[in-house]
Structure formats: structure tokens, C-alpha cells
Structure 1
């Protein structure tokens, strides 16, 4: 269990640059001269994708702590 938690923390801390744009968005944004808009949209997509995972992980941790405290009593 401890090994899984450590792996999970390392995977959250060491995020590799991802390309989260769909094919249509990429085609439209690549025709632009500057890539600042494309980078902004890509960051926004990754941000919106990460929030539900963080919330579910927090909820899972809360439930885990709740049940582990009941077992120790």
C-alpha cells in the first residue's frame, strides 16, 4: 500500500508536458502565426481534465481515513 501511495505522489509531481488538443483545434490553432493561443488552450484543457481526478483522489483519501480510524477504535 505504501508503495502505491509513493508511486501516486511521484506521478502527480512529475508531470510530463502533454498535448491535449483535439485534431480540429490543433489544425485551427497551428495556422496561427504565434503559438501563445494554442499553448493557452492546451493548458486550459489539461487543467480542466486534472481537477476531477484531484477531487476524486481527495474524496478517496477522506473515506480511507474515516474507515481506518473506525477500525483502530
Structure 2
């Protein structure tokens, strides 16, 4: 059981840096000089993408925990 926990934590906190943009955003932001807005857009897209996955995993974990406690009784 401990191996699964270590793997879960490792996969949650160690992730590759990703660049996520639609084609239109990429075309507009590539023409900018400083590229600071492009980096901000990338970070925002990745943040918005990650939140639903975290919520789904939290709900699954709570259901699993509830099921496990009901099974013990």
C-alpha cells in the first residue's frame, strides 16, 4: 500500500512543464516582444486544466474512504 501512495504523490507533484495554447492565441502572442504575456497565458491554461482533475480525484478518494469505512463495520 505504501508503494501506491509514494507513486501517487510522485506523479502529482512531479510533472513536466507543458505549453498549452490554441492556434489563434499562439499566432497573436508569438508576435509580442517580451513573451511575458505568452508565458502568463500558458500558465493560466495549465492551471485551469488541472483544477477539474484534482477535484475528480478528491471525490474519488472520498468515495473510496467512505466505502472502506462502511466495509469495516
Q: Distance in 2 between matches of 1:37 and 1:27?
A: 13
Q: Distance in 2 between matches of 1:7 and 1:23?
A: 34
Shift of 1:25: 0.9
Q: Distance in 2 between matches of 1:30 and 1:40?
A: 13
Shift of 1:4: 4.3
Q: Distance in 1 between matches of 2:41 and 2:24?
A: 13
Q: Distance in 1 between matches of 2:46 and 2:19?
A: 8
Gaps of 5+ in 2: none
Q: TM-score if structure 2 supplies the norm length? A: 0.89
Q: Distance in 1 between matches of 2:61 and 2:2?
A: 13
Superposed CA RMSD? 1.4
Q: Distance in 1 between matches of 2:2 and 2:22?
A: 36
**Count of residue correspondences:** 73
